[in-house]
Amino acid sequence: MSEERFTAPEQKKAEEKPIEAQKEQEKARAEHKPEAEVAEKESGRAAEKKKAGEKEEKPVLERVYTFNLREAYKKPYYKRANYAVRLLRKLVTRHLKSEDVKIDPALAEFVRASGQPKPRVKVKAAKFGDGAVKVQLA
Alpha helices in the chain (DSSP H): 20-31, 35-39, 44-52, 80-96, 105-112
Q: How does pLDDT run across 91-134, given as a tens digit for each residue?
A: 999 999 999 999 999 999 999 888 888 899 999 999 999 999 99
The pLDDT score that the predictor gives to residue 85 is: 94
> pTM for this structure?
0.59
* More confidently predicted of 17 and 20: 20
Residues in the chain: 138
* More confidently predicted of 29 and 42: 29
Share above pLDDT 70 across residues of the chain, in percent, rounded to a whole number = 69
The pLDDT score that the predictor gives to residue 31 is: 78
Q: How many CB atoms lie within 10 A of CB 63?
A: 13
Share above pLDDT 90 across residues of the chain, in percent, rounded to a whole number = 49
What CATH number should be reported for the domain whose range is 61-137? 3.10.440.10
The pLDDT score that the predictor gives to residue 113 is: 86
* Domain boundaries of the chain, sorted by first residue: 20-52, 61-137
Structural contact between residues 119 and 68, judged by C-beta atoms closer than 8 angstroms: yes
Residues β-bridged to residue 135:
103, 125
| Average per-residue pLDDT for the chain | 79
The Cα 96–Cα 125 span in angstroms is: 8
